[in-house]
Amino acid sequence: MDILRNIGGLILGIIIGMFVNYSMIAIGNMIIVPPLTEDITTPEGLKASMPFFEWQHFVFPFLAHALGTFVGASAAAFVAADSKMKFALTIGFFFLMGSVANMVLLPAPVWFSILDFVLAYIPMAYLGWLMIHKLIRVSE
């Protein structure tokens, strides 16, 4: 039964993290209007628009990556039967690898890539685990 909880935690963490990530990007596009150079709903249009993005266009992508990882890692740690930190960090690594693939396809400014890689994934996964760890300790 523990194996099923652990696998379920990983799957749930990935799904919830992706949902939060997508939601934050959608909200960000409503709040901070992207440059009207191309249709950013397609990968080609987004890639063509990237040179016209200013710093404010990267706020919500960073928040999406950080909060998606945090929530996904928290969910995985909460559901996992044991090794909760390992499962939370696995979610962080999963989203980090997705970001590496995305950065290859959509070259972002170097400052954003560094900020994103350093703060949005492994640290947020660790904080997600830490929050669940403290909540579980308090409730015992």
Q: Tens-digit pLDDT profile for the chain (140 aa)? A: 889 999 999 999 999 999 999 999 999 988 988 777 767 777 788 888 888 888 998 999 999 999 999 999 999 999 998 899 999 999 999 999 999 998 888 888 899 999 999 999 999 999 999 999 998 887 76
pTM: 0.90
The burial class, CB within 10 Å (0-12 / 13-18 / 19+), for 72 is: buried
Q: Domain limits at 14?
A: 2-139
The CB-side HSE value for 102 (13 A sphere, CA atoms) comes to 17
Neighbours of 47 (CB within 10 A): 14
Please give the tally of structural domains in the chain. Answer: 1
CA 69 – CA 86 distance, rounded (Å):
14
Please calculate the CA angle 75-25-67 and round it to the nearest 5 degrees.
Answer: 30
